[in-house]
Amino acid sequence: MVDLVIYDVIVVGSGPAGLTAAVYCGRALLKTLVVAGVVPGGQLMLTTEVENFPGFEEPILGPDLIQRMRKQAERFRAEFVQDDATEADFKTRPLKVKTANETYEANAVIIATGASAKWLGLDSETRLRGRGVSNCATCDGFFFRGKDTVTVGGGDVAIEDTIFLTKFVNHATIVHRRDQLRASKILQERAFKNSKISFVWDSVVEEILGEQKVEGVRIRNVKTGKQDMLKCDGVFIAIGHQPNTAIFQGQVELDRKGYIVTREGTATNVEGVFAAGDVRDFHYRQAVTAAGDGCRAAMDAEDYLEEKGLRAQ
């Protein structure tokens, strides 16, 4: 065991929300620990060029943006643990966050563990990720101007993403494993009326084609077994996200999809515990909104510590 240290704030997660929270906590002179994870950085680590984060005239690689944020947090003396949080105990005080090897304690915790995109699980999908395979139309749609794309999914996210893509692409095809969409009726109507969108029903993508970049997809009809190929330049996987909240079940309130429920800013139902970014936001899911949320959570945590007289001297 390390010598017992009670931190002002433990930030769990090291994506834009967690790192921004660490910057603000550090600048407020709060003793801050970031449990960054074995694979730190969140979904930006899987992103190539980022063009929509303010302050960068030229595109910046996702991992480079994360590295700059981390260095900024370290400048304000935030400490980092390169390990995964495996358990949380918010029922006793101080609050506890455990990793495989240590237990860390703090008077406030900011949960910024994000959400993970659900993928198809194809080897070709993994190989071509960032080379035409994406899970974020808002982030990457701009790169497919005048090209043809395929969206996999049939819910609100898939339809919203595809409608957004039609601002840029030549044509977008939605591949759905059922014979009708699950999306809300108003979104369905908009998609059906959009001349740039077509549908392939009762079908699944079995392989994404291409060596260095996406060149098409191989699909299979789930009713007939017939296989076919669609040429395309990009594939957007829109089958949902899973919030990374498993270790917080029974510790803070979660909604039916597993996202953390917050009230009065970023506060959870547990005193001293706050949540920021995609772990509570299932709508926007942008690096810049996550960063803004991290700022709010840090300020909420600082206010809480001051109000309760728990700030370390």
Active-site hit among 8, 84, 89, 136:
136
Which of 236, 38, 219 has its CA nearest to residue 128? Answer: 236
| φ, ψ of residue 177 in degrees (nearest 5) | -75, -10
Distance CA 124, CA 235 (A): 11
Active-site hit among 8, 25, 140, 156:
140
Beta strand spans in the chain (E): 6-12, 32-35, 49-50, 60-61, 79-81, 85-89, 95-99, 103-111, 115-117, 133-134, 148-152, 171-175, 197-200, 203-209, 216-221, 227-231, 234-237, 241-243, 273-275
Tokens representing 259 are: 């996202």
Active-site hit among 139, 233, 278, 300:
139
- Does the annotation count 139 as an active-site position? yes
Which of 240, 250, 245, 248 has its CA nearest to residue 285? Answer: 240
Which of 8, 10, 19, 29 has its CA nearest to residue 102? Answer: 10
Please, which residues have CB within 8 angstroms of residue 64's CB and are 6 or more apart in sequence? none
CA distances (Å), origin 196, targets 137, 147, 172: 15, 11, 6
Please, which residues have CB within 8 angstroms of residue 112's CB and are 6 or more apart in sequence? 11, 12, 13, 14, 15, 17, 18, 21, 275, 276, 277, 279, 290, 293, 294, 297
Which of 12, 56, 62 has its CA nearest to residue 37? Answer: 12
CB atoms near residue 92 (< 10 Å): 8
Q: Could you give the residue numbers annotated as active site? A: 136, 139-140
